[in-house]
Amino acid sequence: MGKRRKIIKVIKVKKRNIIGNESNNKKYFLYIVVALLLIIFIIDNSSAVIKRIYPLKYKEFVFKYSYEYGIDPYLVFAVIKAESSFNPNAKSRKNAIGLMQITERTALWGAETIGIEEFTQEDLYDPETNIRIGCWYIRQLMNEFSNRIDLVLAAYNGGSGNVNEWLKNVEYSKTGQELDVIPFRETAMFVKKVKNYYEVYLNLYGEK
């Protein structure tokens, strides 16, 4: 009689284990299904997600003035993203202002050249004015550095005077035409960041 009770007890324990394993298996299966559905959703919507990270904000002004000054609009978007993350009220410690982080000196030069009347530094907080002057300035740098993007971006961040000096220094430029080393860490990081953003913008929105 005692042996019979032990056998029955063992059978009940095994039954509970089987039921428990089946329950765990169902949970694991459910987790796998949910994970697969999530992966499929991400793949199907990856482009939309990335476009939210790399937006085309203020595109009416970017396209208008980039075409007016003969520069790639996606380069302008990349500069804006790197400089201000599309915040028109951004202001740096060096008092660079707005979407494209333009300094007062550059802004006054640009405003006078392109004929913006009664210009003040506060106007740089206006997206259209900021983008207009920023695109004009990139065009000046492209003319100065023969459309070489690395030099243009280095000059945009570090100043064209510094870039010209670096090009004369064999420590930074072997050919005098390209920079092998950018001595300003911030400028080097800026150039790399904008070029990466530019590539993403071209892949997302450029002509296939």
- Please identify every residue annotated as catalytic: 83
How many whole angstroms separate alpha carbon 9 and alpha carbon 156? 81
Q: Are 171 and 177 in contact (CB under 8 A)?
A: no
Minimal CA–CA distance to 71: which of 145, 176, 180?
145
How many whole angstroms separate alpha carbon 49 and alpha carbon 26? 32
DSSP states of 30-97 as a string? HHHHHHHHHHHHHHHHHHHHHHHHS--TTHHHHHHHHHHTT--HHHHHHHHHHHHTT-TT-B-TT--B
How many whole angstroms separate alpha carbon 112 and alpha carbon 159? 20
Q: Are 127 and 157 in contact (CB under 8 A)?
A: no
Q: Left if phi > 0, otherwise alpha if psi is -120 to 50, otherwise beta: which for 52?
A: alpha
